[in-house]
Amino acid sequence: MINIIYEDNHLLVVEKPVNCLVQEDNTKDKDLLTILKQELKEKYQKTGNVYLGLVHRLDRMVGGVMVFAKTSKAASRLSEQIKKNQFTKTYYAVVEGNLKQNGTLIDNLEKDEKRRISFVSPNGKRAKLNYEVLANKENKTLLKIHLETGRHHQIRVQFSHAGYPLYGDAKYNKQANLKDPVALFAKELSFYHPITKELLTFSLNLPKRFPFSLFE
């Protein structure tokens, strides 16, 4: 069962598990969108197809808070908020090394579709994020991150390029242990309700697993 954080006639806010696809790909592994549609179908005993609109994504290895739209109108209005930067996503990450000061990273990122990675390139699209240093311990830093753009693997690529790769990130951290999940978590989401216009904020506790557990 997926952890449901909030639900009404227009929205479904959930906690995405680590190592769960958001949408089906060529691996045909079970994905969050399909699971949620099935759960809604059973919950409300629907006979036909269940509509659930995907308005944003998280990488397979990243867990945390996500919102889905239960109507096409809600999906359209949430997508419009994303375009206007009214949809705020806050991530927490643990990077290798001791970062001391808050800062901003700006790069151009290009996506390699075949290898499923992104990299810094003059031919890439502009990527910007802001980060706040929360704590340092055992040569690791806990960061609070706000994305201003939403590029493929953006946080992972930008911090790796800056010399502070994410703990457990096998794609962008050469020292990573393949058994460890990447230390990136979508902790908080803020947006305006597509119908009532009320500002909604949903937040989760950090995972209990290492290395987040270092900073409890």
Burial zone of 166 (CB within 10 Å; 0-12 exposed, 13-18 middle, 19+ buried): buried
Three-class secondary structure of residue 153 per DSSP: coil
The helix (run of H) or strand (run of E) holding residue 134 is strand 125-137
Residues in the chain: 216
- Choice among 8, 59, 112, 180 that is catalytic: 59
Q: Which of 151, 142, 148, 59 is nearest to 104 (CA)?
A: 148
Q: Give the number of other CB atoms < 10 A from CB of residue 182.
A: 27
Tell me, yes or no, if 31 is annotated catalytic. no
Residues tagged active-site: 59
